[in-house]
Chain A
Amino acid sequence: MSASERRLRIGFIPLVDAAALIVAVDGGFTAAEGLDVELVREVSWSNIRDKLNIGLFDAAHLLAPVAVASNVGIGHVRVPIIAPFNLGLNGNAITVSPILHAALAAEADGPLSDPAVSAAALARVVAARRRKGLDPLTFGMTFPFSTHNYQLRFWMAAGGVDPDEDVRLVVLPPPYMVESLANRHVDAFCVGAPWNSVAVDLGVGQILHFVSEILARAAEKVLAVRNAWAADRPDVVRRLVRAHARAAAFIEQPENRDEAAAILGRPERIGVAAEVILRTLEGRLKVAVDGTVRTSDRYLLVSRWGAARPDPVQATWLYAQMVRWGQTPLSPERLALAEATFRPDLYDEVIGSEAPLPPGEPADGVGAFAGPAFDPRDIEGHLAGWTIRRR
């Protein structure tokens, strides 16, 4: 590793799912590997993508579907990007305005915490609004190629709501979500932490679902690097992966969570109260202004239960969503590129074999609340099972 190779610039967006990266650097794990990392806080996914593409960043905290889209060449220029480390599974939530929550509750024929119930209730609310000639409901999400976009679409389509015809889906930068919900620019949004909790604390929103209720395992952000960059410096990649794995394991230890939350909360990192970050790491979220708390042991998996290992099934599931919603055609070549974005080989080389997953983890690696098991070898057949789709 040469002196210039030691110095890395890594871009991130201030979100709790950048935890492994931020703690790797600020907690000294990258320094212990001999790396000198400068973290650069960014304001948009477009900036992160472009700066990674042109080499201003060596690595980045990136939306998993942006990495896949970039590697396949969907929606933008094709830049071979790979993910040697998964920055975690899940971590998003769907928050709705108090008005929409009341409307859903009135239409629900069961507990609203069940996504099948809430999606069916949404379909009835949407139909009632149409009969009354009201504007369609508007949902905020973070990027056209975002987990948030696909998670919202998957959930509502399972209830019979067409995300392109029956509602409006709009891109909103995460820091604008809460204000947009408060001023009724949107009726709901899907975003990562801390923004759902911020909306609840301000009394402008109610958390309807943790995304882990919709998909048991959903790759959220990855540590992304250019393929050519990684191929030129395998030693740096190994050190980077090891530092991230150690930082992620540190965060997963309950006794370290206060310290991790304090690091993440710093103004130059995520910049919110450590207490709010702690709730996220512990999966113990206040979901309504009255103080109702919902807990989940899978709200955000940083590295436990195999969460940090980049699982190619996740990349193919994301590609299948891009196909389903008309962002790209289905082809064996594209599928192969999508799958190759996630590089478990680079992870395994450093980590070795991990403990087997606990019982109860989904056999297909995704665990969706509706529809058949996901099969990356038969995306055509899988998509044919859905009535609402663009292809």
Chain B
Amino acid sequence: MSGASQIDANLKIVIVDESAIRSAIIEEGLREAGYAHVVRVAETRNLLARIYALDPDVILIDLENPSRDILEQMFQVSRIVKRPVAMFVDQSDTASIQASVDAGVSAYIVDGLRKERIKYILDTCVMRFNAFARLQDELDHAKSALEERKVIDRAKGILMKAKGITEEDAYALLRRTAMKENKKIAEISQSVITAAEMFK
């Protein structure tokens, strides 16, 4: 992306996201790209009043946020609306709509702002959202690996005590059984723990 000419540093951008970490990651991405006016909103109480006070050109909101419906009210003719805001999602650019929905983000822009001017913002946002999701996956994976390790260790201990075998033999027994049953070692270990608790 040969961004420089497309980037409009004066655009005011609001990020509505209950995840403080994710919104910080997005803000950082936008600031690195040269956008100076980025505000993060985590608390959605009085959301409309806060948005009107901030008077943004672009609003980014995560799709897991129920407050998206509150933003829809901005399109309605009402005495408190200062200027109408239109949604970026139109039918002319299916690929970017798909990308943003897949990533879990939606964008709203002030009516009249040309789409090209915010394309870079949305692209950056989608990239950062996806990066955050990968990070979250890795973290979950690491957590469950740790959990599995604990379960296997407990099952090994139960087998060692019950059968008077070594740690290596206990592990080999778990592994053999898992292969035979076509299950994961952690699943077999969990069955051992459950059974042991029933025999208590």
User: Are A and B bound to each other?
Assistant: yes
The answer to whether B82 has its CB under 8 Å from any CB of chain A is: no
Q: Told that A46-B106, A142-B69 touch, could you supply 6 new A-B pairs with CB distance under 8 A?
A: A43-B64, A44-B63, A44-B69, A45-B69, A45-B72, A46-B71
Contacts of A144 in B (CB 8 A): 72-73, 75-76
In the bound complex, residues from chain B placing their C-beta under 8 Å from that of A142 are 69
A-B contact count (CB 8 A): 67
Q: Which 6 A-B pairs have the closest CB atoms?
A: A173-B66, A44-B68, A171-B73, A43-B66, A46-B68, A44-B69
Question: Contact between B66 and A50 (Cβ–Cβ < 8 Å)?
Answer: no
Judging by beta carbons under 8 Å apart, are A54 and B77 in contact?
no
Which A305-328 residues sit within 8 Å CB-CB of chain B?
Answer: 326-327
Q: How far is A164 from B91 in the complex, measured between Cα atoms in Å?
A: 32
| Given A76-B87, A185-B45, A327-B76, A46-B69 contact (CB < 8 Å) | yes
Could you say which residues of chain B place their CB within 8 Å of the CB of A46?
68-69, 71-72, 106
Alpha-carbon distance A77/B46, docked complex (angstroms): 27
Chain A, Cβ-Cβ closest to B46: A185
Interface string of A92-112 (1 = CB under 8 A from B): 000000000000000000000
Contact B69 A173 (CB under 8 A): yes
Q: A75 — nearest CB in chain B belongs to which residue?
A: B75
CB of A170 within 8 A of chain B? yes
> Shortest distance in angstroms between B111's beta carbon and chain A's nearest beta carbon?
13
* Interface size grouping (class) on chain B: 20 to 34
Least CB distance, A19 to chain B, in whole angstroms? 21
Partner of A164, one of B45, B70, B79, B94: B79
Taking each of A50, A56, A75, A175, which has the highest tally of chain B beta carbons within 10 Å of its own beta carbon?
A: A50
Whether A326 contacts B77 by the Cβ 8 Å rule is yes
Tell whether A143 pairs with B101 under 8 Å between CB atoms, given A77-B90, A77-B91, A170-B48: no
Q: Which of A65-121 contact B (CB under 8 A)?
A: 75-77, 79
Of the residues B63, B77, B97, contact of A47 by C-beta under 8 Å: B63
Residues 164 to 180 of chain A near chain B (Cβ within 8 Å): 164, 170-173, 175-176
User: Chain A binding site: helix, strand, loop or mixed by DSSP?
Assistant: loop
Q: Which of B40-87 contact A (CB under 8 A)?
A: 45-46, 48, 63-73, 75-79, 87
In angstroms, Cα B89 to Cα A79, docked, is 12
Interface size on A, residues (CB 8 A): 27
Shortest beta-carbon distance from A51 to chain B in Å? 7
Complex CA–CA separation, A10 to B16 (angstroms)? 27
**Chain B residues with Cβ under 8 A from A77's Cβ?**
89-91
For this complex, 27 residue pairs linking A to B, each with C-beta atoms less than 8 Å apart, are: A43-B63, A43-B65, A44-B63, A44-B66, A45-B69, A45-B72, A50-B101, A54-B97, A54-B98, A56-B101, A75-B75, A75-B76, A77-B90, A77-B91, A144-B72, A144-B73, A144-B75, A164-B79, A170-B73, A171-B69, A171-B73, A173-B66, A173-B70, A175-B66, A185-B46, A327-B77, A390-B77
- What's the minimum C-beta distance from A273 to chain B, rounded to whole angstroms? 21
Interface residues of B (CB under 8 A from A): 45-46, 48, 63-73, 75-79, 87, 89-91, 94, 97-98, 101, 106
A171 to B74, CA, bound (A): 10
CB distance from A335 to the nearest CB of B (A): 20
> Hey, which chain A residues are within 8 Å of B65, CB to CB?
43-44
A164 to B70, CA, bound (A): 17
- Which residue of the partner chain, among A50, A173, A327, contacts B67 with CB atoms under 8 Å? A173
Tell me whether A50 and B89 are in contact (CB under 8 A): yes
Residues of A within 8 A of B64 (CB): 43
A43-B66, A56-B101, A170-B48 known; A164+B87 contact, CB < 8 A: no
Assess whether A47 is in contact with B91, with CB atoms less than 8 Å apart.
no
Residue in chain A with minimal CB distance to B73: A171
